[in-house]
A and B are shown apart, each in its own frame.
Chain A
Amino acid sequence: MASGVAAIRFSGVGQVFATGAGTLEALCGVETSIARHEFVAVLGPSGCGKSTLLRLVAGLLRPTRGAVEVFGLKVTEPRDDIGIVFQKPTLLPWANVEDNIVFPLRHKMGRVGAQDRERARALLAKVGLAGFEERLPAELSGGMQQRVGIGRALLMNPDILLMDEPFSALDALTREDMGFELLRIWEAQPKTVLFITHSISEAVLLADRVLVMSERPGRVIEDLAIEIDRPRGIDTSNEKMMHDYVGHLRSLLLKRAA
């Protein structure tokens, strides 16, 4: 993590949206940086601008104040080395699983080669969906659909993976399972991950660092390093350290809410 330049850096980032009823200040003075291959989770109350943070990194939004840098370069438009996983899988209902995975290529370049399909099938195996190439999204469970969503984000082999509450629509067991699956993929092929979530235990279980955001206008009020050994697995959930971290974060968030 001493690789000099940060993967993502927010310096004095503020975001104001114009709405029908006036203006809405979503972010104010966000100041933090994320190292290459670091797994950072962002926690915070609803509407605190967590998703705005992610869209700024993706280049889908420009900050009203301050700057967002990716690998030392100011973000002015979307970059090729970033993959996004959304809260809902948002797959194309008319395309089978393989076509959904290669969709970013077909969409960007207009065509898909045999090699790309080869790579898509390898990705499918990686996210645990080998043999499901020909299925339509409607034939898959919610968890499997989100696996396709992750595969789609990994297609361009991005350095940075942005995840916007990716498992929040899943049932509790599937959610935990998907978390471990994500860790397995991340450990096999390290990437910088910015992971937005509502779940304290999910944040602690997955991340190297947890950023806690204040209510609107959002800023970083806690930057907590999670020093639990990797690889983490089912047993990690029972460790005392895990409980301490979760307890600390919960009391912090509850105190703010009160």
Chain B
Amino acid sequence: MSDTSEASSSSAQREVELTWRLAARRALHAPGLLPATTFILLLLVWEASCRLFEIPTFVLPAPSRILGGFDSIAVTRWVDHVWATLRVALIGYIASIAIALPIAVLLARSEIMSRAIYPILVVVQSTPVVAVAPIIIVALGSGDLPRVVITCLITFFPLVVSTTTGLMATPPELIELSRSLRAPVIREITQIRFPYAVPYIFSALRISVTLAVIGAVVAEFVAAEKGIGYFIQFSTSMFQVQQAWAGLVVLVLLSLILFQIVTLAQRIWFPWSLPKERT
């Protein structure tokens, strides 16, 4: 160690090692690489175990068999089913937003309203939607309407609670500023409170959009002649398990895509509302 040449050669070695380590770390941090690797490994293990232990398809079909399940119906039929589910989920989701935001304003503005309405909301939320679904279908018939109502019921509670919290999270100084200007209350809501609630609203929108898909599927389980939920139920009743699994995969993809669209919307239109990036 006392020899200078040896010290310098070891420092060069250390430099190479450091460069390698940095490259490795950068590769690890490449977006999506880590989860993609994990996912592919999981699929391989799944496929291998199914073949190795000869697990029957009705217990757990191998990924390759599920892939085959996609071929059991034509692409146009898939599109039909997806569209039926997507339509109900989206209409229910949008209706839910349209109902939840005004209620949130009411709850945030008035203590009395909050005390009068909030317990009812909790009761509604505590009622298992799956249990109410058949009752709603009986009451409202078999069209899109009962399915939309079910989707609404399941999505709107997180929206109301989160938006209310956001509307109340405004710095009190800004409300004082608004009052000191004697500005109309409506502008206090639109120019201060709502923008401040945007991060809260978006976190609820992300949760609710996946709940909307669940709501649509639950409704289809009860009564439907189309939709992915219906397709899964129909397939299992025919003992076509790999086909049901294919439907499940489509549902997961649908939820993921909707979730990403909401996230993207926030990034494009409200970039300031995103949490600070970790550096």
Contacts and interface: CB of A to CB of B under 8 A. Distances in A.
Interface stretch (A22-30, A83-91, A178-186, A238-246): A83-91
Contacts of A77: 182
Contacts of A87: 173
A77 B179 CA distance: 9
Nearest to B174: A90
B183 interface: yes
A253 B181 CA distance: 36
Contact of A106 (B173, B182, B191): B191
A110 B182 CA distance: 12
Interface string B239-279: 00000000000000000000000000000001011001000
Nearest to B270: A94
Nearest to A86: B173
B177 A90 contact: yes
Nearest to B276: A138
Contacts of A60: 176, 179-180
A103 B272 CA distance: 17
A93 B181 contact: no
Contact of B272 (A88, A90, A94): A94
A87 B179 CA distance: 17
B178 A107 contact: yes
A189 B178 CA distance: 25
Contact of B195 (A58, A82, A94, A108): A94
Given A107-B187, A107-B191, A82 B180 contact: yes
Which of B171, B179, B181 has the most chain A CB within a 10 Å cutoff? B181
Interface string A106-123: 111010000000000000
A104 B272 contact: no
Interface residues of A, number: 23
Interface residues of B, number: 20
Contact of A59 (B173, B180, B198, B270): B180
Contacts of B171: 88, 90
A47 interface: no
A108 B183 contact: yes
Interface in A63-95: 77-78, 82, 84, 86-88, 90, 92-94
Say whether chain B's binding surface is mostly helix, strand, loop, or mixed. helix
B238 to A, nearest CB: 53
Contacts of A78: 179-182
A136 B183 contact: no
Contacts of A94: 195, 198, 270, 272-273
A93 B196 CA distance: 9
B172 to A, nearest CB: 9
Contacts of B179: 60, 78
Contacts of B182: 77-78, 108
A104 B198 CA distance: 21
A88 to B, nearest CB: 7
Nearest to A59: B180
A76 to B, nearest CB: 12
Interface string A144-158: 000000000000000
Contacts of B273: 93-94
Contacts of B177: 84, 86, 90, 104, 107
Given A86-B173, A93-B272, A107-B187, 17 more contacts: A55-B176, A58-B176, A59-B180, A60-B176, A78-B181, A82-B180, A86-B176, A88-B171, A88-B173, A92-B174, A92-B195, A94-B195, A94-B273, A104-B177, A107-B181, A110-B187, A136-B272
Interface of A: 55, 58-60, 77-78, 82, 84, 86-88, 90, 92-94, 103-104, 106-108, 110, 136, 138
26 contacts: A58-B180, A59-B180, A60-B176, A86-B173, A86-B176, A86-B177, A90-B171, A90-B173, A90-B177, A92-B174, A93-B273, A94-B270, A94-B272, A94-B273, A104-B181, A106-B191, A107-B177, A107-B178, A107-B183, A107-B187, A107-B191, A107-B192, A108-B182, A110-B187, A136-B272, A138-B276
Interface of B: 171, 173-174, 176-183, 187, 191-192, 195, 198, 270, 272-273, 276
Closest 4 CB pairs of A and B: A90-B173, A86-B173, A78-B180, A108-B181
